[in-house]
Amino acid sequence: MSERRAILSGSVFEEQIGYARAVVDGDWVHVSGTTGFDYATMTISDDVVEQAEQCLRNVAAALAEAGCSLADIVRVRYLLPDREDFEPCWPTLRRHFGEVRPAATMMVCGLADPRMKIEIEAYARRPRRASSDSPR
């Protein structure tokens, strides 16, 4: 039976709504839609690019707790209320994913709070650990 473990970030939304920032299920890590809130201060920038950077820091923190990193992401979804905000984020996204090349989708939709300008959802596969009896 595979391991299933919830990862919490401390966001008040997780408690209020009843979800986890990420769920580890065996080798897979499912990261919930993650916004640009700084969870330590529960503040959010007005700038979409700064929000994208914070989203990725939040996603990376959840992945690190699961034993992987942004480099292990195989699927990412970008959710934005305003399609015009997506292109300014491209350099940030390219910097983090240009070598990783995950499957990606961008969707225009409403988000839970009008301050939110981008939300990022990701799926990662944890790296295989070398076993002690593997050939060297």
Which residue ranges form the domains of the chain, and what is each CATH number?
4-125 (3.30.1330.40)
pLDDT confidence bin for 128, thresholds 50/70/90: confident
Helix (H, G, I), strand (E, B) or coil at 20: coil
Contact 105, 77 (CB under 8 A): yes
Q: Is the pLDDT of residue 34 over 50?
A: yes
**Burial degree of 123 (CB within 10 A; 0-12, 13-18, 19+):** middle
CA distance 14 to 105: 24
pTM confidence score: 0.90
pLDDT confidence bin for 70, thresholds 50/70/90: very high
Instruction: Determine what percent of the chain is predicted with pLDDT higher than 70.
Output: 93
DSSP assignment letter at 93: H
